[in-house]
Each structure stands twice: as structure tokens, then as C-alpha cells.
Amino acid sequence: MSKYDSGLDLCFSALGDPTRRKILERLARGEATVSELAATHDMALPSFMEHLKKLEAAKLITSKKQGRSRICTLSPTAFTPARDWLSEQSTIWEGRLDRFDDYIQTLMEERSK
């Protein structure tokens, strides 16, 4: 990844991995420790921790140390920029379709003169 990462780069890239989406799906149901999260993933712990680091770098989760455990929590507002970007593209596209319909309409009117 380049040094020009925007929030959306980190966020969408983080979401592009099934292990990480599963972690988020679990955390949407409530916070959990690293080992609780890791339990359902057949992967060495350091590998699993890398996924958590990426989620945290993307600000999709936060975590804090509590005793020897680390508790991970979903940051649900972090989804907002991604959702907004997606919605905006759809909206722009739909706006274009409307304009295209208008154009056809105009053509038809011209032709019938």
C-alpha cells in the first residue's frame, strides 16, 4: 500500500478480506477479546492479529488492553464514509439516467414537429 492511503483505501481494502468481514460481523453483536475472536478462525494467532491490526488501522474497530486480554469493539460510524461513497455513486448514476430520459424525450418532441 502506498503512503497516500486515504481513509477509504484502508476501509475498503480491510473489507475486501473474508476473515476481516467475519470479525466485523462478530463484533457487530458485541465486543470480544482477541482469543474469543480467534477461536473460530483456523489460523495462527500472529496471522490473526495482523487482520485485527488492519481493521484498527482502517478505524473499523478499536481495542484496549484489559489485564492480559485485549478487548476489540466495532466502530460502527467508521462504515459511514464507505456507505456514503457508494450511495453517492449510485445517486450520480441515477441522475444521469434521468437526464438521458429527458434527452430522448426532447428528441421525440423535435421529431414530431
Which residues touch 32 (CB under 8 Å, ≥6 apart)? 26, 71, 72
CA distance 68 to 72: 13
CA distance 8 to 58: 8
Which residues touch 7 (CB under 8 Å, ≥6 apart)? 58, 59, 81
Check residue 6 for interaction with DNA (CB under 7 A): no
Contact of residue 26 among DNA, a second copy, none (CB under 5-8 Å per partner type): none
3-state secondary structure of 101: helix
Check residue 50 for interaction with DNA (CB under 7 A): yes
Q: Of 76-105, which residues contact a second copy (CB under 8 A)?
A: 76, 79, 82-83, 85-87, 89-90, 92-94, 96, 98, 102
User: What is the binding site for a second copy (CB under 8 A)?
Assistant: 4, 6, 8-18, 21, 24-25, 28-31, 74, 76, 79, 82-83, 85-87, 89-90, 92-94, 96, 98, 102
User: What is the binding site for DNA (CB under 7 A)?
Assistant: 1-2, 13, 16-17, 19, 33-36, 42-51, 54, 65, 67-70
